[in-house]
A and B are shown apart, each in its own frame.
Chain A
Amino acid sequence: MTDAVLRPAGFSFAQYAICLGGIVWREGLRFLHQRERFISALVRPLVWLFIFAAGFRQVLGVSIIPPYETYVLYEVYITPGLMAMIQLFNGMQSSLSMVYDREMGNMRTLLVSPLPRWYLLSAKLVAGTAVSLLQVYAFLAIAWFWDIEAPPIGYLTVLPALVLTGLMLGALGMLISSLVKQLENFAGIMNFVIFPMFFASSALYPLWRVRESSPFLSYVCELNPFTHAVELIRFALYGQLNVLSLAVVIGCTAAFMAAAIIAYDPSRGFLARRGVGAGEG
Chain B
Amino acid sequence: MTGGHRRILVVEDDPETADQLVGSLKTSGYQVDLATSGNEALSRGAAGDYAVITIDRMLPDIDGIAVMRQLRDDGIAAPVLIVSALGEVDDRVRGLRAGGDDYLVKPFSFVELLARVEALGRRSDTIVKETILRVGDLALDLMSRTASRRGKEIVLFPREFQLLEYLVRNEGRVVSRAMLLQHVWDLHFDPSTNIIDVYVGRVRRKVDGQQAYPLIHTVRGVGYSLRAPG
**Are A and B subunits of one complex?**
no
Q: B residues bordering A, Cβ < 8 Å?
A: none
